[in-house]
Structure 1
Amino acid sequence: MRLRFFGGLSIADGDRALDVRGRGQQALLFRLALDAGTTVAYRALAEDVWPDDPPEDPRASLQSLASRLRRELPPGTLEAVPGGYRLGIDRADVDVVRFTDLVERARRSEDPSAAAADARAALALWIGDPWTPGGGFDWVVRDLLEDRAHAERLASPAPPSAVGLAAADPSATDAAPIPAALTPLIGRQDELALIDEQLRAERLVTLIGPGGAGKTTLAFETARRRPGAVVVELAPAAPGEVWAAVAGAVGRSIRVGELVSTSARDRVLEALTGRTALIVLDNCEHVSAEAAAVALDLLRGAPGTRILATSREPLGLAGEAFVDLGPLPDDDARELFSRRVRAARGTSPSLEDTDAVARIVTRLDGLPLALELAAAKARTLTIGEIDSGLDDRFALLATGPRAIEARHQTLRALIDWSWETLTEAERASLLAAAVFPDGIGARDVAVVARAFDVDAASFDALVDKSLLHRSERRLRMLETVREYGIDRLRREGREAEFRGIQAHAMADLAAREDARLRGPGVREGLAWFDADDENLSAALRTCAEQPDLAEVGVRLVRANLWTWLMRERFEELAAGITRFFDTAGALDSEPAVVVRGVGLLARAFDISRRESDRREAVPPAESRSGLVADTAAPSAALDLLERESPAVIAAAAVHRSELSAVIGPLLRGVAMTARDTPPGRPWPRTTVIDDTGLADAPEWSRAFVSMMRSAIAQNSGDTATLGIESEKSLASFLRLGDVWGTAFASQMRSEWLQLAGRLDEALEVADTSTEALTGLTSTADLVQQRAQSIGLLLRLGRIDEARERLVQTAELAREKESPQGIAQAAMSAATIEIAVGDGDAALRHLDEVDVGAMPSFPDQLVAWARSKRAQALVLLGRNDDAAAALRAALPAAIGSGDHPIVSDVAVSIAGWLAAERRDADAARALTAAARIRGGVDAQEPFLRVLRERLGTDALDPTAAAPPGAMSDPGESVARPDGASRAEDATAEAEREVAALSALLGSPLGA
């Protein structure tokens, strides 16, 4: 197989052209091709394929992407290997790779004629601009353009250009030469151009940047381009010696007659009178105030003088211009490191070292001096050993070249130089920032400063001194500086203290932001939690490690709880609740009540689940015909609830909040479910949530309880309760401005409106829900929401609009690389084709679902996919195949416990029975579907198409519906014993499922 990217994408297998479509597949192919024949790790692939918006599960998304790509390539070309994937073709078969290999060989060649031949061969491959699959691969184009420049130079050698060198000022001749560069300058051309531009416009330019960024190198390079420049090296100067250093440099650089002045200051100004000169003040930071005063006198007393200063902080003079020198870009940093490695050991890093080199560059923040020190270790260490050695970077980089000044010989000395210039408050602030791995939000600096008992202005001072930098409204720290701070804390025995203070600060900040999540500020609140994710994780780890911080851990779990639920991060929720459950037992605060209450619910459900798993190995067939399987009696869970709940409920009444107010109703409802569940059954999904204690609760709490009731009712087919509670919760959340609550309540309301036959209203509400949930939930949830709207459009007969929605939905799923979302989109596509009677097209869409990923999908999705397949097969007259699909669909639907899904499978069974001309049985199945769902889906698309084909009334949902299947939405759902209509619905549904299984001729479990 041959891949061509110059001039456009071209893929060929021998004489046969191949076609790979879709940005995801093209990006994966392109990234693997860049390292043809070599394993590319999962992480590297994910970072390049999804640079800006990684999927929720990159490994699963890569698996899905590779599975689809593999079908388009020759057998065996795309290999799954331990740790990643490999494209099994030669490097010479990829034009951009062959190009870079030829340029690299030309650059290494000692023979100019051979180098020129390789360079010309490389340039011959460049038949057009390189093609890339879009965002995330700009670095490839930059590398190729840089290699092209090298190739053109090697193919046609030319003398170095003198363009850009400033003309010498006749009055500044005989200057002392600027020290020659020991190694070629790599990168920094943009910064050099900016320095020149700033010097043309302003008289004082300060080159700012962290230690080791290369400020001196650029200052010297600028001075070399300006004959007559004077370099003043201030690193050796002590306070009070700056004028003497300037005088010495000027005296060496400018020949003057006998000077009459006696002071260093006056001699310098006399020497510069009438002259035009660039004065470079190098390394001002340790004498910054004095250097600023000297610069001011020079600018005032020598009008022809311009000054280029290098410092880790501004001089603070009026009219001062800046060039901010940050880390090297990744490409330049890799080039610098690779060249220095070659200088150290005679060979450049191999292709197998590519990932390790990238990690070294990232971990050392692209700082040139740090990269130089690390590359020097290649004399005795492998690249992998250097990479792993950076776990203790200050020990690894503890020696350096003897010829350079001491402050640049080790990584620690490099930052010690900055540390010595800091005040005590600035040092404390630096150490504080080091324990915030995500940096500190601009809004949060004041809170953090108070926690560490420092002035917030000291953080701004660290920005001025290049030890912190502002990025996206946050104060961030280079990783090397962070490690320095942590190392100092450890040496001083203060790491635990500072991490404890960080945990306190994060608990306060998280509590502040959590309050925004249940109202109109939910998006801003979630953005804060996302941006501070590592800070919060670090704080929780600290609380788990330091027993005296357990109460802070409870506060952190409480503040994170709602975010974890919204983001469906259940593992973190479970870990936090489990770790601090006992501490919360004191029940002396609102966080303790909420954490203890949620933990009690989680433990009760977990006990019930484990008891369910210990059911008899071969339960009786009749007990397996219901919606749920037999279990042992949930006595242990009931014992736990009855023992622990009263204290939690009593404490919740004292420590009132939006969340604590719902703890009591939830605990009572779950306890009632456990108490009323007969032995041998697991808990049904029909928990009754009462109103006790809610009369004076916050409106949000009452809205949340109504939303929970509507969700339980929707899942269990209790349509009357669904109608009443969804209306109540939606109205409350709208008043409160709670975006997430409104979206969820809208989804429930749309479900009820569909069953009520109010399809236009249902569609409007569903669309509103989808729009509101964007950015607040997972891609799979969004696709599911959109699928609901597509189904409503089909029931309204608006097929073209449904297809338009599908295109948008499929694009979203593919863009986010969500395997579950992609599968849901394919099923929605199949549903559309079923609605128009095209069984073949429906099957083609269903065949697009990644079968390998199906085991990871929830039972609802599996059952839905099999149900749609059965419908398509019925439309094609393949009744035996349809029956097999239904026999697989029904157990999955029952396993989900989701009544609407079970009802959908029942509808499919009715269609199959009608196709078999078993009209009476079809009517029974359709009646079962309505009873299980709790209402009649009168416009069900599959039934409508099949009814027209078969000319039978057996598939008329309205005729088949039982009396009262759709209750009056205004009907009360209260019963004297406080139980819900849903309990009866569940029992009835179990009987109907047993009948459906019999109609299929395949008892469950057979």
Structure 2
Amino acid sequence: MQITTLGTLAVDGRPVRGARLVALVRALVDARGRSVSVAALAEAVWDGAAPDDAAGALQALVSRARRTGLRVTSGPAGYALAHDPADIDAVRAAATLRRGRDALRTGHADDADRCAAEALALVGADVPPGTTAVHDDPAHLRLLAGAVALRVEAALAGGTDPGPLDVLRALALRTPPDEPLVALLVRALAAQGRDAEALDVLEGVRAGLAERFGTDPSGVVAQVHVALLRGELAPGAPTGPPTGPATAAGEALAVGWRRAVTGLVGREVDVAAAESALADQPLVTLVGLGGAGKTRLALEVARRAAERGVAVHAVELAGLREPSEVLPALLSAVGAAESVADPDRPQGRRVLGADERLQRVAEVGGLLVLDNCEHLLDAVADVAARLIALADRDLRVLATSRAPLAVPGETVQPVLALPDADALQLLGTRARAVRPDLAWDPDVAAALCLRLDNLPLALELAAARVRSMPLTDVLAGLDDRFALLDHALRGMPERHAGLRAMVDWSWSLLTDDERVLLMHVAVVPAPFTAATAVHLVGPDAARAPAGPGAARSGAARPEVATTVAGASGPLLGETRARRALGALVEQSLLVLEEPGRDASARDAGGHGGEAPARPGAARYRMLETVREYGEQRLAELGDPADARDRLVRWAVDEAHAVAEMLAAREHTAGIRRAGAEQESLLAALRWAVERRREREAMAVGAALLALWTVRGLHAEVDTWAAVLLGSHDPELRATSWALHGPRTDAPPPEAEDVATVALHALVNSGIAGTQRRGAVARRVARRALASPAAVGRGRVRHRTAALVRAMDALTSVESADGVAAAEALAREDDPSLAGMGLFLRSALRENLGDVDLSLRDAHAAYDRFASVGDLWGMGMAAQGIGQWEGGRGGAGADVWLERAEDHLRAIGAVADARAIAVVRHVHRALRGETGSRAALEDVVAAPASGGASRAHASVGLAALAALEDRWDDAVRHADEALAVARDDPAAVPQARVVYVVCAAVIRLRAGHDSEALLRSAVPEAVSTKDAPVLGSLALGFAELAASRGEHERARTLWALGTRLGASIALIFGPAFASLLHAHVGDGDERTALLAEVHDLTSSAAVSRIVALLR
């Protein structure tokens, strides 16, 4: 079937009769297969004067349409034409013109001419331009103009005579004139040697524009005028680029949008994603924070589209202020008029209605770019939705906005900050452009990018400052980034003149509720849950006044004085807070982060009266630039102290929720929850300490110290325990409830929190070597258990009390006390407590030389921990089993160590997991696995590996070199391990002593004397009061005695060191340890030696070692 719409409407050559039937069929044809509602069809048919029974009358018309042979279908959405679009002459003509333009662009002028002839046959070239038939149908006129222009362009490109120009002249010189066609007419006349006529055309256009519209010809006409005067358009001269509708893309892009003056860095993935989306979807919106590079990205997409011959029109909306200005701006961009000729009116023209104007825009086709939509969101959304519903399928709309348009058919593509490598490249490229001799420090540059959130605009502004400042000064100046980067570049749009102007633009679009929420969540330093945001702005929605500005307007609003309630009252309440939260995400001021597949590291929780958030709850992230802006606004308009107090109250609730989980056999979940909120809890802890609020500080500190203990962050525990127990603050120490009981009117802390802080301080003081702190912690812990009221209010949980008693005993010198404490824990009903008791008894038995019993306890501990999913306990037990099995050459060592690494990594103990991975590689390398040797070399070469891991890897390489008789390499690696341990600020004294022993043993076996090196470690080893560490030092001196032939001394030191739990095999493997064993005798002799010291207490063994080392 052939449907003729150009000229008289006909179906298979038979005219469609009757004005209303014609209107109905044209409306259905224009929809291109989409359903048209009854209301829309009635409007098209009766022009606002539909009969009472419009549906019935319309149904009768549809029946008539079906009798013409048209397949009209009906459905819930209305009526649709069920025909292949290729059946419609206008569609075939448009497709033919596209083929012709492609042919012309690729240099095939003959093919383009044939396409033009085909299109003219479809359009009806014999229809005189200017007749009513053409003027009343803009689509027909557009196709006719395109076909005529293509014919003339093909002739000019092929060097042939374009022939009669009457039709082109009539099309070009309408009112207002079609200026691209005017330029083509001038080129065609000049090609025929008719320069005088061409000049006459140009003068007539100039005079007409000046008289009727008070304006001058556009750039495209001015350029062709200059070319004519220079003789560049004479016959035989190069024709130059096309100027007709076939290349409207290039012209529109040139005159309607800014040119990119710098190259695009990165964003290849984003460009490809946008192009892919536009290939399938009618509307794609690039959404991101101001300065993220949305406009630059859209410009690149448009440029590439124009290169492919797509007609591109761009509309910059930033300068508009009223919603009513949007549609006229679109019309101007596509070169369409807002009125049509009408001889029945006094002035001969009729102003088009809104729908007619939209139809004009929709008929353009190609790519329409709407830049900076956010301040006129409602108006742009309305226009875009109606436009994509009306438009031909060839039209694509690419919008940029700080918020989605939220219309049907929209595809939202987030434009995020640049990846690290691209950000670094952008900064470097722009900085060197303004200062070629720049001293480039990649570490400083990377830190600068990080501080600026990898935002392209921020990096451009920072690079501009490099003109007069070194990179280090720019980085230092970011403490006040808004002042430093204000107006760093000239000639930028006002909203991009500086960082503050960039965020000011977004701020102006927010409602009062959204501003209040933005200011208050700015005090949260890390991604947060919706429940956290609700907590910060008040749970009572009923009492929160709506206030002015609660509804969003369609345009940018002037600055408002947002009123913020004080601590005594709510700010928004839950419903309004959640609504504002969603709006901040839409405005790109917050980034919504959905949980990934591994939700373990992102557990979060609720608080107050809400149910705890489940693992993997979605979080909201704020860029540092926005956060700093929010804090400044809070200082200007609100109460920063009240906002931080709210954060502290949330942190206390969160910390107590973690404590409940730890006490309820949900150890892993509790630690994950604390880990998910670590940064925010730490910020609250700092504020509470600064305000000397002991109750809140103890509560939050208890949760953080538990987390850091599990994750092996012993230095953090020790540092903050000192703060919480008043070690560095005499005033706090003098008024502390935990230390002295009630001495002030301040609310007392919870006794449970005090006991928990003391417990972790006690445990970590031994590891960190801060014995004085450990003594204070022991005193506080004992007071909390003996009389909870002496340190605070409430009671101490049984679990905490049991752990305090055990750790108190275990940190004493006498092993008998420790064994009894461990056995008491092992008898607890709580599997986690029992597992801890078994694990501790395992370690003590290993120290006493009872390896078999020790392993049995470790396995039993693992099973207890596993029964309640306690990953930390499982990791510790598995690590102990793996190391002890490895020390004696057990086949299952690697399996257990891998299991330990997995458990600890899952709980967030990354440093400990990394250290275990190094132990595994050491074991494997000593068994001859080359892959593990290479892994150890990689660890040593990477500073990011951490001091402990690098030192241990160096020891492993030293042992490997020693077993291969490469003693120079062995000594070098051992010295490297010692140097790393001594330089590592996080290294504990025990580690430094062990690495001294390692280096000394390697040196001794390489033939060097190491007495001075060993003796340098004696004071530190004695001060730690760590029995296994003293035992390790004793083994080092045993090596020294053996190297000198002092076999009896070597045997005694070996036996005492082994009695205290030290083993060369744990460090260097069984093969290496056997060399020392040769000096102390065979298996029976060694057993006899150990039997001699078996009954010695740990303190007695320590005393004998110290005496022998003097």
TM-score when scaled to structure 2? 0.58
1:24-173 equivalence runs, <5 A: 168-169=245-246
Show the counterpart of 2:705: 561
Structure 1 unaligned residues grouped into runs of 5+: 1-161, 613-633, 678-682, 967-980, 998-1002
Change in 2 beyond 3 A, CA 1:453/1:846: same
Show the counterpart of 1:800: 927
1:590 aligns with 2:712: no
Change in 2 beyond 3 A, CA 1:243/1:716: same
Partner-residue secondary structure (3-state), 2:255: coil
RMSD over equivalenced CA pairs, Å: 5.5
| Cα distance per residue 1:730-789 (max 9 Å; x no partner) | 44223222222123234555677799x895577765665455445654657864786599
1:188-337 equivalence runs, <5 A: 190=268, 191=270, 194-216=273-295, 219=298, 225=306, 227=311, 229=313, 231=315, 233=317, 235-247=319-331, 257-258=341-342, 262=351, 264-269=353-358, 271-272=360-361, 275-276=364-365, 278-303=367-392, 305-327=395-417
Q: For 1:416, which of 504, 512, 515 is the aligned residue?
A: 504
Partner-residue secondary structure (3-state), 1:961: helix
Partner-residue secondary structure (3-state), 2:821: coil
Change in 2 beyond 3 A, CA 1:402/1:638: closer
Partner-residue secondary structure (3-state), 1:743: helix
Show the counterpart of 1:467: 589
Q: For 1:827, which of 955, 960, 964 is the aligned residue?
A: 955
2: CA distance, partners of 1:551 / 1:518: 20
Show the counterpart of 1:437: 525
Show the counterpart of 1:54: none
Change in 2 beyond 3 A, CA 1:670/1:808: closer
Letter in 1 for 2:802: V
1:187 aligns with 2:236: no
Show the counterpart of 1:570: 714
| Displacement after TM superposition at 1:268 (Å) | 0.9
| Displacement after TM superposition at 1:881 (Å) | 3.1
Show the counterpart of 1:741: 873
Change in 2 beyond 3 A, CA 1:688/1:317: same
Structure 2 unaligned residues grouped into runs of 5+: 1-238, 343-347, 540-571, 596-618, 726-735, 742-747
Q: For 2:255, which of 142, 167, 178 is the aligned residue?
A: 178
| Displacement after TM superposition at 1:168 (Å) | 3.7
Change in 2 beyond 3 A, CA 1:524/1:263: farther
2: CA distance, partners of 1:841 / 1:370: 49
2: CA distance, partners of 1:489 / 1:476: 18
2: CA distance, partners of 1:381 / 1:912: 58
Partner-residue secondary structure (3-state), 1:456: helix
| Displacement after TM superposition at 1:962 (Å) | 5.2
Show the counterpart of 2:809: 669
Show the counterpart of 1:707: 839
| Cα distance per residue 1:297-327 (max 9 Å; x no partner) | 2233343644333322222222223443334
Are the counterparts in 2 of residues 914 and 955 from structure 1 also a CA contact under 8 Å?
A: no
1: CA distance, partners of 2:1033 / 2:1081: 20
Are the counterparts in 2 of residues 837 and 875 from structure 1 also a CA contact under 8 Å?
A: no
2: CA distance, partners of 1:884 / 1:658: 50
1:537 aligns with 2:682: yes
1: CA distance, partners of 2:1071 / 2:400: 74
Change in 2 beyond 3 A, CA 1:181/1:588: closer
Are the counterparts in 1 of residues 958 and 971 from structure 2 also a CA contact under 8 Å?
A: yes
Partner-residue secondary structure (3-state), 1:823: helix
Letter in 2 for 1:453: G
Q: Which has the higher contact order (CA 8 A, sep 6+)?
A: 1
| Cα distance per residue 1:244-296 (max 9 Å; x no partner) | 54455556679965596545414414645754354443332223222222222
Are the counterparts in 2 of residues 340 and 372 from structure 1 also a CA contact under 8 Å?
A: yes
Identity of aligned residues (%): 27
| Cα distance per residue 1:202-261 (max 9 Å; x no partner) | 332323222244444555666673557363636423244434544555566799655965
Change in 2 beyond 3 A, CA 1:839/1:502: same
Partner-residue secondary structure (3-state), 2:408: coil
1: CA distance, partners of 2:658 / 2:999: 46
| Cα distance per residue 1:143-188 (max 9 Å; x no partner) | xxxxxxxxxxxxxxxxxxx999999449999979624636614306
Are the counterparts in 2 of residues 824 and 861 from structure 1 also a CA contact under 8 Å?
A: no
| Displacement after TM superposition at 1:578 (Å) | 3.8
| Displacement after TM superposition at 1:840 (Å) | 7.3
| Cα distance per residue 1:639-685 (max 9 Å; x no partner) | 877766522499899645475233551476389x59xx9xxxxx999
2: CA distance, partners of 1:527 / 1:947: 45
Change in 2 beyond 3 A, CA 1:809/1:515: farther
1: CA distance, partners of 2:1059 / 2:276: 78
Partner-residue secondary structure (3-state), 2:519: helix
Letter in 2 for 1:184: V
| Displacement after TM superposition at 1:492 (Å) | 1.0
Letter in 2 for 1:823: A
Letter in 2 for 1:464: E
Change in 2 beyond 3 A, CA 1:513/1:172: same
Letter in 1 for 2:718: A
Show the counterpart of 1:991: 1104
1: CA distance, partners of 2:1059 / 2:251: 101
- Is the radius of gyration larger for structure 1 or structure 2? 2
Change in 2 beyond 3 A, CA 1:989/1:340: closer
Are the counterparts in 2 of residues 205 and 322 from structure 1 also a CA contact under 8 Å?
A: yes
Change in 2 beyond 3 A, CA 1:164/1:866: farther
Letter in 2 for 1:594: T
Change in 2 beyond 3 A, CA 1:444/1:523: farther
Show the counterpart of 2:63: none
2: CA distance, partners of 1:940 / 1:381: 59
| Displacement after TM superposition at 1:491 (Å) | 0.3
2: CA distance, partners of 1:574 / 1:855: 19
Change in 2 beyond 3 A, CA 1:348/1:495: farther
TM-score when scaled to structure 1? 0.63
Partner-residue secondary structure (3-state), 2:290: coil
Q: For 2:627, which of 482, 489, 506 is the aligned residue?
A: 482
1: CA distance, partners of 2:272 / 2:581: 31
Report how many residues are paired: 778
2: CA distance, partners of 1:541 / 1:925: 48
| Cα distance per residue 1:375-423 (max 9 Å; x no partner) | 6667887776655544334444555889766544554343333223323
Change in 2 beyond 3 A, CA 1:596/1:813: same
| Displacement after TM superposition at 1:929 (Å) | 4.8
Are the counterparts in 2 of residues 276 and 305 from structure 1 also a CA contact under 8 Å?
A: yes
Partner-residue secondary structure (3-state), 2:370: strand
2: CA distance, partners of 1:359 / 1:936: 43
Change in 2 beyond 3 A, CA 1:577/1:872: closer
1: CA distance, partners of 2:1042 / 2:397: 92
